[in-house]
Amino acid sequence: MQIWDIISPLDATAFTRYLPDHLPNSLNMFLPDRNVQSNKSRRAKFSRTNVTAKFRAYNAETPIGRRPDVIQTTEWPLPPIGQKLPVTEEEALRLQLEMSNGSPAALAALVQQMFDDFEQNVRAIRNRAELARGDLLQDGKFTLQDENGLTLEADWGLPDTHIVTPGTKWDQTAATPLTNEKTYIQTLLIDEIGISPAWAIASTAAINALLANAEYRAAAYPLAASPPTLAGLTQLNAVRAEHNLPPIHRYDHKLSVDNVTTNVIDPKKFILGIDGYGEYQWGISAESLQLVRRSAGAFVVTDAPGLVSAVYTEEDPVTSWTKTSGVGMPAVSEPAGLVVVNALT
């Protein structure tokens, strides 16, 4: 009996997809997961111009006009993402010898290890997706620079005017973050035809700068001759609600990238966004189509988007692998629905 006979790709994939997510990755609140029936991410941009007709001389031909509606379609291939973990020849041999001697514990241990490895694969993929979300939210682009041979820049068209630097950074004495933010929101309202931001993302450092800021403290304690040197979170939220500013999501998450602790989002940035700004698209991978072909109807094309998992073996040296893979990346629905503030020094 071989391990790949015990753990079918259907069982492994079901486990992968229904695995609870206990990771501190919260950016899917703003770029939620969505499955798409494709291996590409597409965006159609519609524009309408108020074209004018022309006069003509009598007996002259009527001029040819142009249609006012233009649809520009941009697409990027959804890049493959995945991870595999080995059960080495020596380890597999020991367990299989114990199994051949009738040890149910050895079989249970091997199966448990395989599912533990599937879980590790999924965690690693979810972490990389979180980094991708953070990348997009900082400049409106998803960028890969020679990552396992892949270089990609999906530029979703965030206007240059939506990446802003205040004249006085918010951790400086004379900063006016309330005034600044209202100005930035006005830019967003104009470009998004009246859609207000629904959320803000800020690090603890940025939030602390707002708590200590004179403009915020004066707004929090309007009747005080000398406001406290530090406002509280309750006062901060009350000021923001009073000024029709969105609630702040505190975000300080770090992940290990090639053994280097890395901020998912630069703690010096303050990010504003609208509901429906974008999503994380999971598409159809080569592995998922292979599972469709081999599953005899138990796994169909409509099931294909998303992660898939399987066990496979190499013969020289004999090594069993758990592999989890998919295709996907963050995508934007409303390119002008984001404002990124370089808030701190």
Residues 166-213: tens digit of each pLDDT = 999 999 999 999 999 999 999 999 988 789 999 999 999 999 999 999
Confidence of residue 253 (pLDDT cuts 50, 70, 90): very high
pLDDT at 90 (0 to 100)? 77
Whether residue 325 has pLDDT greater than 60: yes
Whether residue 32 has pLDDT greater than 70: yes
Assign residue 154 a region (left: φ > 0; alpha: ψ between -120 and 50; beta: otherwise): beta
Distance of CA 233 to CAs 216, 250, 271, Å? 11, 11, 18
Structure tokens at 222: 């309007």
Residue 271: strand pairing partners = 201, 340
Domains and CATH numbers, the chain: 1-51+66-345 (3.90.1690.10)
Pair 336, 163: CB distance under 8 Å = no
Residues contacting residue 265 through CB under 8 Å, at least 6 positions apart: 134, 137, 138, 201, 203, 251, 253, 271
Confidence of residue 2 (pLDDT cuts 50, 70, 90): low
> Tokens 């939220």 label which residue?
237
177-182, long-range: CB < 8 A, 24+ apart: 177/209, 177/210, 177/213, 177/215, 177/216, 177/343, 178/215, 178/216, 178/219, 178/239, 178/243, 178/245, 179/215, 180/341, 181/245, 181/272, 181/341, 182/243, 182/245
- Dist CA 224 CA 216 (whole Å): 13
User: What does the pLDDT look like over 274-319, one tens digit per residue?
Assistant: 999 999 999 999 999 999 999 989 999 999 999 999 998 888 887 8
Alpha helix (H) residue ranges in the chain: 3-6, 9-18, 89-100, 104-139, 177-191, 204-212, 214-220, 233-242, 286-294
Confidence of residue 5 (pLDDT cuts 50, 70, 90): low
pLDDT at 311 (0 to 100)? 93
- Dist CA 294 CA 296 (whole Å): 6
